[in-house]
Structure 1
Amino acid sequence: MSDFLTGIAFFLIIEGLVYALAPSALKRMAALLPQMPEGQLRTSGLAAVAFGVLMVWFIRGG
């Protein structure tokens, strides 16, 4: 459970850094999201999930 909470903490740290260091870039990106096809968003999300799972697997000594 502590690994899960650590993961959430790292997520919050990274999200906070994006909002703190590049708010205008984040706003521009958010404005572009409605124009992207749902399939492309879904594919990008699934690729990010797969990459994250692979990273955890390699880090944990998979």
Structure 2
Amino acid sequence: MSEILLALGLVLAVEGLVLALAPRRVEDALHLIASLPPERRRMLGLVALALGVLVIWLVKPA
């Protein structure tokens, strides 16, 4: 449970940092994503999911 809370805290910290440092760029990125067709957004989401799982698998000690 503590690892899940740690992961959630890291996500919130990174998201907050991005919003605090570059709010206009986030807005531009959201407009770009909204202009993509749903199939393309789904593929981007799946790629991001796969990369996230790969990073966790590589970093997590055995």
Aligned residue pairs, count: 62
Per-residue CA deviations over 1:3-60 (Å, capped at 9, x if unaligned) read: 0000000000000011000001011111222210111111111011111111111111
Partner of 2:8: 8
Range that drifts further, 43-52 or 25-34: 25-34
Letter of the 1:16 partner, please give it. Answer: G
Aligned match of 1:39: 39
TM-score, reference length from structure 2: 0.90
Structure 1: 5+ residue stretches without partners: none
User: How does the TM-score come out when normalised to structure 1?
Assistant: 0.90
1:29 is the counterpart of 2:29: yes
SS of corresponding position for 2:19: helix
CA RMSD of superposed structures (Å)? 1.2
Q: Which runs of 4+ in 1 moved over 6 A?
A: none
